[in-house]
Structure formats: structure tokens, C-alpha cells
Structure 1
């Protein structure tokens, strides 16, 4: 296929009916690719049973074209793009669910954005499983942690907490007292029923606040002087970051000013990584030698994917 032929086909590629697009875009700016996106998310949820721990974080899909909800995040490599809120399995990095952040166009039914994404969208597939969610301070709050412990959610959380939260007592902050400031590598715990609030001081001018609804021991590692809660958070928080890195290493994305094509390329990256994770599990169960991603890309006709997807 020539380059001109490929470009022509990409220009003609659409994922919805253009006749009703303008009418539907008033309520949903993600309309041009919403239908195929929802079908893809259903398949991701149905073909995998998550483990005990999942991670929720953000991914920036690089895009510099015209878009109402395009985000600028300076600490990301792409800086400009579509922000995706992703839930991954902390152990295998499998992408369980994903939702684009539509900016002001996001209808949250009166909930905060973090609470809306976690409660109403991501965790529906794991409600009632008594699983744990690791998240950053954009989602975490004390009232939200208490709500997730009840029916129908029955979920625990571990996450960092913003320093300006009203729920943090003054005794946990880095105030100067008559005896001076707190020593480095000291930890303080506060309990509110099943909720544990941790204040840890790793440096003289830095305080780390952690919230957990599944840690009642308040233990500290005698070797590292770090609380076990922080070690657990560091162990499980990297699910989405590792998944994002895997997508960037073997990516099929191309430069485009068309938002549906950009999102479709991102879906292809997600599908490749999820398929590879399922393949690795099936290969290990059957005692076969696993192939790496590059070998799979060079041998697309090999018998790499089995119908018995990871189910427990």
C-alpha cells in the first residue's frame, strides 16, 4: 500500500454517523468515538478477573489538534493531549477500565471529580469483592474512604492525602513546638474507626500524609524506618505508570490532527498490552516459553493468543 493510499483511507475512517454527530456532541464531546470506545471497554472488563489490588491513575494520550478537553500537563513527556483516567491490576498491569477526562463537559451528578471517577465508573466491575484501590491525592479523602467501605462497594483504599485537607489534625503537621520540630523518619498514626491516617516525615521540610482503610497495625519497618503502609503504597502504586511505559515502548500511534484517530491508536496500544498480559498468563499455565513483545510483533501469525483468557 502506498503512503497516499494509506492517508486516504485514514481520512475516510469514521466511527459514528456524521449525520447525528453535531446533535449528540452537545451532550457528549467524546461522541465521534464513544460507541466503539464503550464496546472496547466492555471487552477489557469481561476477559479478565482482577486480583486483590488495583491502581487508579492518569495517562496522557499525546494530541495537539483541536479539542475542547485537551489538557496541558507539564510533567508528562507529551505535555499536551487527552487525559485518560485508568484502572489497572497492580500485579499484572492489565488495564481493567478507562475513561477520558472531558474537562467542564464531565457530568458528575454533584460528586467531586475524583469520587465520580472511582465510585461511578471504574469500580463497578469490582464492587463487593473486598478488594483494595491504590490512588493518589486527587482521589483520596476521608469521607470517600468511609463510603467505599459500605454496600454496594465493599472496597478499601490506600492513598496519599493533600496537605490542605481539613481532616488532618494539627498535631500531625510539621509545626514548631517548645521542643523543636519533629525528627526525621518519625511516624504518627491517628484512627477514626476503620480509617487510619498517617503522618510521616522523610525530610526536615517535607511531610507525607497517607490514608488507609485496610491497615490497622500501624507497624514500622525497623530497617528502613518507614511505615509498612508507605511500603505497601510504593509497591502497588506503579500499575498505571508501568502500563503507560509499556504502551510507549511498542506504540502504533502516529501524528494526527483527528481526535478519533488519535484515540483509536491509543485503543490499539491498550489492546496489544492487554493481549500480551493474557498471553503471558496462558503460556505460564501451559508451561510454554513466553515470547517478548518485539518477537510477537515480528511474528504476527504465530499461535500466541489462546481462547481461554485469564479467568478465575
Structure 2
């Protein structure tokens, strides 16, 4: 099975249009290394027979029962092997899936648009994926908190192991809520997010029409609300920033002046993209392929995430900076060295399955050695024939 996983990971680097092309003997497209790992038929059998649960004992009411064991094992391992730094972010990720599925989502702002939605929490400094929750509608595996809604409950469920430790959370405007931020603040956790102007319990700003670069701050001693006009109005809510502006290091080419932005906007832009960055890194070498089974796609997506996390832990422990693709290559080589015995190439033909009695019985004609008593005698008729 380690060899099978290596083969799948290698297919993420060596891209071909179909699985059978990896065993093609056409000199233009041949990749002989795959034939040393598996025969084509053996690999396809293993791929077809992938299954992660005993259907006889599975909880069929759980929409994720097909993949639940793998999901729990990996997400719990993510939390054990890495302790996050101060800043965390939570965002949505979408895995492409266009087949029929009860909890398939349509998100037009994402690259794939159709697929399975994940709530992902990442460490901002390293990009380590700390936790994953698969969205399945009303049965999503979250603990519901009164007054916080679904978005707030997602945040509290994912942050539960990290509350009271002084972390700062960055989220987008779907998770925004002054009530949620106040609840996090009471658990020694800061937060920062963009927010819509019509959000309930948001501060009211006096200026209705602002010029580019103008800013207005409102605070109540614990939360800071910011309205800043760039190309459009931007509203930010924070419990960890002050009403200050900082230079961006860039110059406005129209005005010839240095650009300045609110500190909360600078930090949000810098620290909010960890989840999208993880998706982008995996997109170049992902091993997920088209299949008719949705849970297989999720499995391969989780494998890609686990390998990405492994590369981050490797960098943190060794201090060596190598590319993600190079790390995957080294991982595959080590797994093959430890677990794989090279496959013998086929000699052709069909091997004999039995030894018939007619090929081994003692009834073949054989030469009997001549003796003196058995010397041949010539008959008189033979001479008559000769005459």
C-alpha cells in the first residue's frame, strides 16, 4: 500500500491524460518506471477496491461515513504534531467535484466553483493546516453555540483546543460578528476581519461619502471598527489593533505621495491568505484525479494536505529550505527504499498452470540397447525382394 500511495503521488508530478497512459509502451509517451512499481491491471484493481469503512458496522446516517475514519485520524494527527504560532486564520476551501452529491456546493468566487467545501484553519506563519471540517449542510460536524449562528459555531469548534492561549484569529466577512469577537475576547483570543457595513450591532459612521485615503475609526474600549476608502469603502472589525495608520512602502503614482493604510488593513492583507496559499501550492502537484467515488477524491485531497504539512514540519525541525516538489520527491524515494521490492518484468506468454499426465507418464518410445542374443536375422524373402 505504501507503493500504491507513492504511485499516486508520482502521478501528481508526472501529468498524463488517463491512468492507462502511465503504462503506455509507445516510445513517445512511455514512462517505464511505473511498470517497475505495478502492472497496470494490479494498480487499477487496487484503485477500484479502495474502501475505508466496514459497511456492516458503519453509521449510515453520517453523510461522511465512507471517509470518516481517515478524516478523524489525519485531523487529530495534525493537532498532535504541530503547535501553532500566535496568528491563525480560518477560511473556506473548495475541492472540485461535479458529480451528484447531496452536500456539493456552488461558490462562484472559487476557481473550481463546484465541489466539496471545507472549513480550514491554518497557522499564518508557516501555512500548516491545523484542522479541517467538511461542510455537509445541517449535519456538519460542529458544536452549535447559541447566538453565534453557523459561522460563529464553526469558529468556536475549530478554535476550541486553542482558546485562552493568546492567539489572534483572522477571518473573512462570512464569519464576522461583534458578538463572536466579544466571545473570543472573553477567552483571551483576539480577532480581525473585514465586515459588511449593514452588519447588525456594527458602529455607525458619520461620513457617507469619503475621498480616497480617508479613514474613520470607532471604538468602544474593546473593539475597533474602521471605515477606510480605497477604491471603495472597506470596513474592518478588530480587537487587537489601535486607530493608527502605517506606510505601505509604496508610492501613489498619481499624487506622488507615500501610501498609508490602517494597521488592521495591513495585517489582514498579510495574514489572511494562508488557506488560499495552501490550495495554490497543492494545485501544482495534486494527486486527485477524476473518479466516480466522491470519498476517493476526498482521500487523495487529504493525502496532499498531509504531505504539505509534512514538508512544513520537516522545515521547522531541520531548518532546511527545499521546494515542496523536492520534498515530495525525497519522500517518495524513501518510501520506495523501505517498502518496495522491484517488480520483475513480464517474460511474455502464459505460464503453465498444470503438468498433464501425458507429459510425465512412462509411455514414451525409447531406444532399447542391442544385445548379442537379439541380433537381427535376415529372412530369405528379403533376398527374393532384392533380386
TM-score by length of 2: 0.70
Contact in 2 for aligned 1:54/1:89 (Cα 8 Å): yes
Report the Cα distance in structure 2 between the residues aligned to 1:158 and 1:269, rounded to whole angstroms.
29
Report the Cα distance in structure 2 between the residues aligned to 1:169 and 1:277, rounded to whole angstroms.
40
Q: Which aligned pairs between 1:41-56 and structure 2 lie closer than 5 A?
A: 41-56=75-90
2:230 partner SS? strand
Aligned match of 2:373 = none
Aligned match of 2:71 = 37
Gaps of 5+ in 1: 176-180, 304-312
Report the Cα distance in structure 2 between the residues aligned to 1:53 and 1:67, rounded to whole angstroms.
35
2:98 pairs, out of 64, 67, 70, with: 64
Deviation at 1:270, TM superposition (A): 0.5
Report the Cα distance in structure 2 between the residues aligned to 1:244 and 1:3, rounded to whole angstroms.
30
2:170 partner SS? strand
Contact in 1 for aligned 2:63/2:136 (Cα 8 Å): yes
2:205 partner SS? helix
Aligned match of 1:178 = none
1:78 partner SS? coil
1:209 pairs, out of 235, 255, 264, with: 235
Residues 1:141 and 2:169 are matched in the alignment? no
Aligned match of 1:12 = 49
1:280 partner SS? helix
Gaps of 5+ in 2: 1-37, 248-257, 336-387
Report the Cα distance in structure 2 between the residues aligned to 1:187 and 1:45, rounded to whole angstroms.
40
Contact in 2 for aligned 1:15/1:260 (Cα 8 Å): no
2:166 partner SS? coil
Contact in 2 for aligned 1:219/1:228 (Cα 8 Å): yes
Aligned match of 1:260 = 295
Report the Cα distance in structure 1 between the residues aligned to 2:323 and 2:245, rounded to whole angstroms.
39
2:323 pairs, out of 269, 286, 292, with: 292
Cα-to-partner distance string for 1:99-135 (whole Å, 9 max, x where unaligned): 0111233365354111111102x11221111110000
Report the Cα distance in structure 1 between the residues aligned to 2:152 and 2:92, rounded to whole angstroms.
14
Residues 1:164 and 2:189 are matched in the alignment? no
Q: Which aligned pairs between 1:14-29 and structure 2 lie closer than 5 A?
A: 14-21=51-58, 24-26=59-61, 28-29=62-63
Aligned match of 2:260 = 225
2:260 partner SS? coil
Contact in 1 for aligned 2:245/2:261 (Cα 8 Å): yes
2:261 partner SS? coil
Report the Cα distance in structure 2 between the residues aligned to 1:252 and 1:133, rounded to whole angstroms.
31
Contact in 1 for aligned 2:203/2:225 (Cα 8 Å): no
Report the Cα distance in structure 1 between the residues aligned to 2:312 and 2:259, rounded to whole angstroms.
33
Report the Cα distance in structure 1 between the residues aligned to 2:93 and 2:50, rounded to whole angstroms.
25
Report the Cα distance in structure 2 between the residues aligned to 1:3 and 1:25, rounded to whole angstroms.
34
Report the Cα distance in structure 1 between the residues aligned to 2:83 and 2:203, rounded to whole angstroms.
39
Cα-to-partner distance string for 1:60-98 (whole Å, 9 max, x where unaligned): 011122211011112222221100010001110000011
Aligned match of 1:127 = 163
Contact in 2 for aligned 1:52/1:131 (Cα 8 Å): yes
Aligned match of 2:150 = 113
